[in-house]
């Protein structure tokens, strides 16, 4: 935990005469309000980490307040420096400076690149961004078109400003030029208080990434494979202002309101944070964009410094007091500063190996042998000196006790040694596994390494050519950060033991970047790992363990592959199934339509039958003699017609019931049609002839009339007949076609149904397979979990054992001391006894 560093800077006075004679006095790191004759005003005295008077230069402010933060940022710590104070108190002067006396930002940029140049064992990638918060809108100062940017929060990136431009840079001059461009886009305005007043809060940000350079010799570099990512924020806040004093109106008034509101929220956040742990409660970071962005700097994991600028004039006394109170509260805030690292698998393994090595050394350095020798020596000394029997017996008892303890210690030592050997083997085994899995993803992981090596080579070669060549990643877009996106392609499972130190997961990344707004698009984290462990079973041999792990690993891989394959098949089959189902439903629709055709035909036939009956009744009207040949022909035609219609109806009824009409029906229909045709023609001609022969003179007139009617009727009937025949023919043809179509559709339907059933069977089989695989996976997961638990237990036992051993050592030490004391006492006693012998020892 580290307190925020707070300093106050008093700007030179604007030559204003004191009215009541108040003035601010700076002594060492204290600032207090005094009357003109020198008496201090009680309660208005504040002490800070630094108080800079009017003579102080930006160089000194930077040296004392910010330099450390910059150094730490290069080493991987997040850092923030910001200027706070009333309008015209000198914030922008402090951050940006003047030509003669550059400000904090300028110096920080120069310093960072100088430090990078000196750091020969690491390679760096630097990105910069510059934004302003104007009227609660975030604008990009590097790209004017990026206005009103939104703050987003994601699990991977924490809080960030979406769409903010980040420039990859490789020299201080490049950064300073960019800042100059950004400054031109910043909102300034003139007020009564300041001719060039900042109307927005600005945040200049540098993201510094670094990685240890690959050692050509291939020797271990500890855990230096870790990638460090730190974020440095240099913030120039807009000044709080009293509207009456600044004379603000219109746009300035609106700006002033936004400025005051966001500063008030900043004050609230500072107040809450200064309340300390339990009373603190909810911190309102989300109430303004400024506090949300500065969250990591306020109570987060950044090294933070605040410079509070004040105006010395008497008319600003109240504002100055307010600023000093703000500063006092900020002084109470503590941050949890830590290096931000991203650990690769290799780095993790190295760390674990080191731990094991350390443990081994500790055990090798055990004092068991030394203690044993000490006890033997004590015993010999005792025997040589010759102590009294009683004392000897006591000592002997103690010695035996110590010897038993020593034996116990030796035994546990052996066990521990064995345990460590086992652990070592497991680690080696795991290294192999990791190497195996690494080779699987060599295209990604090795790609990163190669890239780094390439970049390293490039940067080295550049270093020879250029006077200033840090950061090493000159060809920045291809640098390791960009390549890190390959990590996403890595498998989810990394066979790392879970208890060997912490590794970077999403949570760590979250903690690391929480609240930061950099557009870390190209920054991909090491993926969350599912950790594999293994049991420490006393019954099993080490080989069994490693084999078991390898088997599990292989099984898991096989099962996963199998599952993926099944999934793929399942998806394919499902889409094929869907397609078939669609086709079947289309066919079914068609069948429905086809099935309706006989129904329609039936209706048509019924209509025709009615028409036919009407025609017959008209024809019968013209028959005078019921027994004439014409009447007989007509009656035969009527019978034939009825027969034809009933045959047609039964034919269609069969079709409607889904039965196949017999082909003989077709023939009889055709025959009946022909017969009917002949009979009707015969009947009509006989009707015409017979009528003409039976006509008398009187009736001639009537006969002509009737003849005309009959002639007309005959013609009409012939027409109807023709039309009916044509219609019947068409219908018949249609019917036959439809019947054929129906047959084909039925066959298709049968084939589809067969296919559908076999697919359904296959689908069920696949589903069963899938269930079995899922079950297998869950069993494997459970086994893995059990293994993890067992291993954790074993490690705990190991720790307990180490503690017990230490305790034992302590006890033995105490025994030895007691023994030595006793021995000394005996020596004294025996010295006296030899002068006046009282009793003889068995060794006399």
Ligand X SMILES: Nc1ncnc2c1ncn2[C@@H]1O[C@H](COP(=O)(O)OP(=O)(O)OP(=O)(O)O)[C@@H](O)[C@H]1O
Site for ligand X, rule CB under 6 A? 11-12, 85, 87-93, 194, 196-198, 238-239, 309
| Cα 568 to Cα 560: distance, rounded to the nearest angstrom | 12
Q: Based on CB atoms, which residue is closest to ligand X, 62 or 516?
A: 62
Annotated ligand binding at 92? The verdict is yes
Shortest Cβ 332–ligand X spacing (Å):
24
Q: What angle do CA 402, 408, 413 make, to 5 degrees?
A: 120
> Minimal distance in Å, beta carbon 318 to ligand X?
16
Q: How far is CA 305 from CA 79, 81, 336, in A?
A: 8, 5, 14
- For residue 651, the SS3 value is helix
Smallest separation, CB 347 to ligand X (Å): 44
Helix or strand run (H / E) with residue 51: strand 50-52
Classified as helix, coil or strand, 505 is: coil
Smallest distance, Å, CB 470 to ligand X? 32
- How far apart are alpha carbons 479 and 477 in whole angstroms? 6
Query: Smaller CB distance to ligand X: residue 199 or 272?
Result: 199
Helices (H) and strands (E) in the chain, counts: 20, 21
Taking alpha carbons only, the member of 481, 452, 442, 471 closest to residue 216 is 452
Closest separation between CB of residue 91 and ligand X, Å? 4
Closest distance of CB 260 from ligand X, Å: 12
Q: Determine what percent of the chain falls in helix, strand and coil, rounding each to the nearest 5.
A: 60, 15, 25
CA Rg, the chain, in Å?
Answer: 51
> How far, in Å, CA of 185 to CA of 407, rounded?
79
Judged by beta carbon, residue 254 or residue 414, the one nearer ligand X is 254
- Closer by beta carbon to ligand X, 78 or else 198: 198
Q: Nearer to ligand X by C-beta: 12 or 754?
A: 12
Identify the residue whose tokens are 């409660």.
281
Tally of residues, the chain: 844
Tell whether 85 is in a known binding site. yes
Nearer to ligand X by Cβ, of 229 and 238: the residue is: 238
Q: In angstroms, what is the minimal distance from the CB of 12 to ligand X?
A: 5
Q: Is the peptide bond before 471 cis (omega within 30 degrees of 0)?
A: yes
The residue (of 245 and 441) whose beta carbon lies closer to ligand X is 245
Beta bridge partners of 139: 132
Residue 305 in marked binding region? no
- Contacts with 61 (C-beta within 8 Å, 6 or more apart), sequence order: 7, 9, 52, 94, 104, 307
Tell whether residue 89 is among the known ligand binding residues.
yes
Q: Which two tokens stand for residue 145?
A: 């078109």
Any known ligand binding at 740? no
Quote the CA–CA distance of 737 and 306 in Å, as a whole number. Answer: 94
Residue 86 among known ligand-binding residues = yes
Chain centroid to Cα 91, Å, comes to 39
> To the nearest whole angstrom, how small is the minimum distance from the Cβ of residue 281 to ligand X?
31
The first and second tokens of residue 513, run together, are 């970047």
Instruction: Report DSSP state, residue 532.
Output: P
d(CA 135, CA 199): 8
* Residue placing its CB nearer to ligand X in the complex, 308 or 787: 308
Taking the least distance from each CB to ligand X, the nearer of 288 and 437 is 288
CB of 799 to ligand X, least distance (A): 56
For the record, the structure tokens of 57 come out as: 């230069």
Please give the annotated binding residues, written as ranges.
Answer: 85-92
Please give the annotated binding residues for ATP, written as ranges.
Answer: 85-92
């Amino acid at each position: 935990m580290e307190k925020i560093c707070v300093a106050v800077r008093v700007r030179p006075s604007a030559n204003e005469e004191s009215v009541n004679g108040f003035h601010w006095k700076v002594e060492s790191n204290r600032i207090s309000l005094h009357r003109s004759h020198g008496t201090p005003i009680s309660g208005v005295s504040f002490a800070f980490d630094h108080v800079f008077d009017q003579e102080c230069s930006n160089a000194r402010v930077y040296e004392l307040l910010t330099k450390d933060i910059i150094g730490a940022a290069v080493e991987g710590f997040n850092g923030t420096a910001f200027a706070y104070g009333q309008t015209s108190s000198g914030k922008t002067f402090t951050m940006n400076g003047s030509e003669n006396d550059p400000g904090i930002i300028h110096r920080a940029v120069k310093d960072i690149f100088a430090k990078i140049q000196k750091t020969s064992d690491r390679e760096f990638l630097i990105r910069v961004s510059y934004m302003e918060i104007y009227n609660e809108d975030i604008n990009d100062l590097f790209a004017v078109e990026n206005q009103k940017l939104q703050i987003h929060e994601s699990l991977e990136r924490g809080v960030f400003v979406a769409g903010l431009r980040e420039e990859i840079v490789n020299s201080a001059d490049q950064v300073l030029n960019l800042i100059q461009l950004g400054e031109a886009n910043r909102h300034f305005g003139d007020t009564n208080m300041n001719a060039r007043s900042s109307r927005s809060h600005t945040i200049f940000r540098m993201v510094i990434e670094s990685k240890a350079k690959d050692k050509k010799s291939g020797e271990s570099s500890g855990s230096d494979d870790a990638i460090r990512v730190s974020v440095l924020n240099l913030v120039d806040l807009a000044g709080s202002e009293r509207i009456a004093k600044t004379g603000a109106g219109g746009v300035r008034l609106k700006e002033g309101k936004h400025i005051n509101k966001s500063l008030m929220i900043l004050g609230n956040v500072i107040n809450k944070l200064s309340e300390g742990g339990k009373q603190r409660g909810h911190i309102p970071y989300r109430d303004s964009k400024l506090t949300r962005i500065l969250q990591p700097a306020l109570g987060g994991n950044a090294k933070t410094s605040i410079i509070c600028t004040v105006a010395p004039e008497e008319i600003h006394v109240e504002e100055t007091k307010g600023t000093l109170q703000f500063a006092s509260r900020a002084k109470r805030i503590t941050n949890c500063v830590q290096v931000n690292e991203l650990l690769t698998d290799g780095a993790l393994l190295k760390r674990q190996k080191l731990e094991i090595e350390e443990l081994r050394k500790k055990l090798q350095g055990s004092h068991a042998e030394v203690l044993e020798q000490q006890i033997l020596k004590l015993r010999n000394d005792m025997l040589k000196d010759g102590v009294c029997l009683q004392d000897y017996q006591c000592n002997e008892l103690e010695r035996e006790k110590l010897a038993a303890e020593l034996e116990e210690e030796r035994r546990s030592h052996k066990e521990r040694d064995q345990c460590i050997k086992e652990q070592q083997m497991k680690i080696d085994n795991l290294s192999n596994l990791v190497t195996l899995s690494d080779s699987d993803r060599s295209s990604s992981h090795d790609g990163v390494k190669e890239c780094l090596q390439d970049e390293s080579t490039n940067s080295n070669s550049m270093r020879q050519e250029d006077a200033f060549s840090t950061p090493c990643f000159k060809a920045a877009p291809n640098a390791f950060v960009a390549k890190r996106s390959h990590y996403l392609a890595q498998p989810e499972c990394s066979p790392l033991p879970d208890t060997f130190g912490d590794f970077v997961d999403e949570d760590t990344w979250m903690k690391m970047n929480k609240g930061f707004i950099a557009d870390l698009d190209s920054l991909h984290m090491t993926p969350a790992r599912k950790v594999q462990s293994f049991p420490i079973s006393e019954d099993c041999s080490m080989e069994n363990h490693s084999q078991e792990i390898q088997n599990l690993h292989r099984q898991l891989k096989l099962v996963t592959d199998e599952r993926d394959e099944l999934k793929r098949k399942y998806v394919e089959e499902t889409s094929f199934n869907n397609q078939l189902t669609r086709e079947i439903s289309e066919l079914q629709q068609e069948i429905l339509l086809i099935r309706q055709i006989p129904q329609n035909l039936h209706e048509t036939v019924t209509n025709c039958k009615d028409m036919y009956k009407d025609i017959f009744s008209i024809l019968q009207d013209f028959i005078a003699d019921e027994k004439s040949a014409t009447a007989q022909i007509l009656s035969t035609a009527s019978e034939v017609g009825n027969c034809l219609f009933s045959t047609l109806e039964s034919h269609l009824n069969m079709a409607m019931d889904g039965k196949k009409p017999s082909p003989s029906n077709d023939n009889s229909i055709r025959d009946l049609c022909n017969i009917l045709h002949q009979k009707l023609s015969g009947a009509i001609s006989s009707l015409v002839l017979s009528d003409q022969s039976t006509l008398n003179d009187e009736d001639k007139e009537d006969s002509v009339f009737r003849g005309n009617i009959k002639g007309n009727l005959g013609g009409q009937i012939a027409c109807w007949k023709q039309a009916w025949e044509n219609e019947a023919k068409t219908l018949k043809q249609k019917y036959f076609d439809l019947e054929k179509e129906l047959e084909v559709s039925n066959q298709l339907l049968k084939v589809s149904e067969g296919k559908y059933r076999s697919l359904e069977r296959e689908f069920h089989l696949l589903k069963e397979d899938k269930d079995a695989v899922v079950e297998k996976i869950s069993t494997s997961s459970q086994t893995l979990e059990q293994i993890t638990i067992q291993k954790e237990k074993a490690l705990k036992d190991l720790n307990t054992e180490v503690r017990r051993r230490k305790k034992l050592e302590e006890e033995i030490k105490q025994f030895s001391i007691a023994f030595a004391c006793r021995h000394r006492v005996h020596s004294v006693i025996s010295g006296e006894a030899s002068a006046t012998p009282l009793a003889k020892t068995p060794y006399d």
